[in-house]
Amino acid sequence: MKYNEITKENINEMVISFYAKILKNRDNPVSKVFVSRLGEDLNSPIWKKHTDLLTEFWSMIASKDSSYVGNPMMAHFNMGLTSEMFPMWIEMFYKTIDSFYIEPVGDIFKQRANNIAQNFKRNLGLV
> Under 8 Å CB-to-CB from 90, ≥6 apart: which residues?
113, 114, 117
CA distance 22 to 39: 12
Q: Is 101 in the site for ligand HEM (CB under 6 A)?
A: no
Question: Given the rule CB under 6 A, which of 1-9, 12-20, 78-86, 94-102 is the region that contacts ligand HEM?
Answer: 78-86
Contacts of 60 by beta carbon, 8 Å cutoff, 6+ apart: 66, 68
**52 backbone dihedrals φ, ψ, rounded to 5°:** -65, -45
Question: Using the rule CB under 6 A, is 16 a contact of ligand HEM?
Answer: no
Maximum Cα–Cα distance across the chain: 41
Cβ 127 vs Cβ 121: under 8 Å: yes
Piece of 4-12, 13-21, 99-107, 116-124 that binds ligand HEM (CB under 6 A): 116-124
Given the complex with ligand HEM, which of 46 and 102 has the nearer CB atom? 46
Closest approach of Cβ 1 to ligand HEM, in Å?
26
Q: Which stretch binds ligand HEM (CB under 6 A): 1-9, 10-18, 67-75, 95-103?
A: 67-75
Which residues of this chain interact with ligand HEM, rule CB under 6 A? Answer: 30, 33-34, 37-38, 50, 53-54, 57, 70, 72, 75-76, 81, 85-86, 89, 113, 116-117, 120
